[in-house]
Amino acid sequence: MGDYELLDFGHGRRLERFGAFVLDRPCPGTEHISLTNDEFWAMADARYEGDRSSAGDWSTASAAMSEATSEGWTINAGEFSLRLHLAPSGQVGMFPEQMANWRWIAERVRSYRKAYQTSPRVINLFAYTGGSTLAAAAAGAEVAHVDSSRSVVNWARQNATLSQLADAPIRWLVEDARRFVQREARRGKTYHGIVLDPPSYGHGGGKRVWKIENDLLPLLSECLALVTGTLEFLLLTSHSPEFNGPRLAALIQQSLTSNELDTFLTEHGELMLTTPSGRALSSGHFARIHRQT
C-alpha cells in the first residue's frame, strides 16, 4: 500500500511513513532489536514519548507536521481514504497491520456477491475508525459499524465521506458490542460476515468493563449463534500476546458445531509488517474462516 511504509524498528520503537509524514512511535517487544540505520530516524516529522495508557506527548519537527497536528492529514488506503491525527494515546487512526485483512474482507464480500447476486450483511465490532467497515462497504456490503466511543464513530463517518462512501449502506452505532449482538439476536436479525478486533481491556457502554480473557468467548459464541446458517466469513484479530493465532482459531472452532466446522476453511497467523529491506515485525494475531465453495 503506497501511502504506508514501515521503515525501521528496534530499541523499543518503530519508524513509519503515513503518507507525507514519518512518525517515530513506541513498539514494545523490540527493545533488544538493533536498528537498521540510525540515519533513518532523523527523518521523523513527529515523535511520541510517554505511557500510552495514561497519554503521552507528541513532539513535532516540521512546520507541516505541526499544522497537521491540529487539522490531520489524509492517506490513501486502497479503495478508501483515512483521515489521520496525532492522538494523545500515540495512535493515529489506523492500524496498518490490518491492511491484509482489509483486502481479505473485500475479497470475501465480492465472492459472496458473485455467488448470490446480492449484498452480504456484515457486523464490524470494536470498529474504531472504520478500516474494515470501509473495505466491506467499498466492495458492496451492508455494514453495521459498532464501537462504544462516539468520537471514533464520528471519525469513521468522516472517513466514509472522504472515501465517497457517505451514502453507502452503513449503520453507525455507538454501543457496547455484546449488548448490540444480544439485541440483534432478539430481533431475529441475520448477517453473513463478522469482524472482531477486541481490545485486551476497555469499557463498553455505561460501566461495562471488557476483559478479553473473560469476555471474548461469550461474545464470539453469541455472534455465531446470531448467524447460524447464514455465516459466510468471520475475522478475529488480537493484539493481546496470550491470544495468538492458534488460540483464536481454537476459540472460533469451539464455538462452531461439528457440522459447521466441515463447511468452513480456517486459517490463522500473525499480523505482519515488513520493511523495504525485508525485516518483519509481528504486530498481533488473526484467525479467520470462510465457507467453502
Task: List the domains of the chain with CATH numbers.
Answer: 4-84 (2.60.40.1180), 96-291 (3.40.50.150)
5 in Cβ contact with 76 (< 8 Å): no
**Amino acid (one-letter) located at 103:** R
Q: Output b/e per residue, 263-277; b: 16+ Cβ within 10 A.
A: ebeeebbebebebee
**CA distance linking residue 144 with residue 198, whole number of Å:** 16
pLDDT value for 70: 79
pLDDT value for 19: 95
186 in Cβ contact with 130 (< 8 Å): no
268 in Cβ contact with 248 (< 8 Å): yes
Neighbours of 220 (CB within 10 A): 22
In this predicted model, what pLDDT tens digit does every residue of 23-75 receive, in sequence order? 999 998 899 999 988 888 999 999 999 876 567 899 999 888 888 887 899 99
Helices 212-226 and 177-186 pack at an angle, to 10 degrees, of 20
Instruction: Using a pLDDT cut of 70, give the percent of the chain over it.
Output: 96
* Residue of 270, 219, 293 lying closest to 101 (CA atoms): 270
pLDDT value for 11: 94
In this predicted model, what pLDDT tens digit does every residue of 199-228 receive, in sequence order? 988 776 666 788 899 999 999 999 988 887
In this predicted model, what pLDDT tens digit does every residue of 235-257 receive, in sequence order? 999 999 999 999 999 999 988 87
- Provide the grid cell at 141: 456490503
Q: pTM here?
A: 0.94
Q: Considering the chain, what is the average pLDDT of its residues?
A: 92
Q: Which helix (H) or strand (E) holds 152?
A: helix 150-162
